[in-house]
Amino acid sequence: MIKSKVLFVCLGNICRSPAAEAVFQALVNNKGFSDQFDLDSAGTNGLHDGENADARMIKAASLRDIDVPSISRKFVKKDLEIFDHIIVMDDSNYENVVKLDDGSHVHKVSKMTDYCSGEFSKYDHVLDPYFGGEDGFNHVLDLLDNACLGLLQKIS
Ligand code: 4NP
């Protein structure tokens, strides 16, 4: 089976994109689709290379029985070729990703909030929880729960 390769991208790859990868992984595991996907995440700034996800995100996700195993790495130009879908968290991530592209892979890049529905359709980016409190991490996870359902519908 040809797997769909999906990369989630944020700035530091320690809060939002590791959580997006983990929430989407949990969703496809629960649906029995895990053999259809290869998931990864990356950050555009590379400042946290080699680090685990932020402990606050690991804790907030674990309270929902979601494992966040990501080790931070920088987004690189080659990712544009390797992955079928590149899902960014905000407009700044989008700019940082597409500026590495020659124009031939831009169709693969979309924003996580493009897949939101219902009460979450009002959001146009995933808020960065890094400088805030616990609420921000829970908000990100709530939004990701909603968006990942839409993403799965779109790409499966
Ligand atoms: P993330 O959050 O992009 O959701 O991983 C951030 C984490 C760290 C930094 C910025 C955003 N930072 O600049 O250190």
Domain boundaries, the chain: 4-155
**Is the distance from the beta carbon of residue 16 to the nearest atom of ligand 1 less than 6 Å?**
yes
Backbone φ, ψ for residue 88 (5° rounding): -100, 165
**Is the distance from the beta carbon of residue 143 to the nearest atom of ligand 1 less than 6 Å?**
no
The CATH homologous superfamily for domain 4-155 is Response regulator (3.40.50.2300)
Residues 20-31, mean pLDDT to the nearest whole number: 98
pTM for this model (two decimals): 0.98
Mind listing the pLDDT tens digit for each residue in 116-131?
Answer: 999 999 999 999 999 9
- Quick one: pLDDT at residue 137? 98
Contact (Cβ atoms closer than 8 angstroms) between residue 90 and residue 67 = no
Whole-number average pLDDT of the chain: 98
> Which among 15, 79, 128, 148 is annotated as catalytic?
128
Atom nearest to 11 CA in ligand 1? 3
Give the integer Cα–Cα distance in Å for 49 and 73: 5
**Is the distance from the beta carbon of residue 47 to the nearest atom of ligand 1 less than 6 Å?**
yes
| pLDDT over 70, % of the chain | 100
Give 146's pLDDT tier (boundaries 50, 70, 90).
very high
- Quick one: pLDDT at residue 15? 98
Burial class (CB in 10 A: 0-12, 13-18, 19+), 130: middle
Residues 90-108, mean pLDDT to the nearest whole number: 98
Residues 42-69, mean pLDDT to the nearest whole number: 98
> Within a 13 Å sphere around the CA of 84, how many CA atoms are in the beta-carbon half?
13
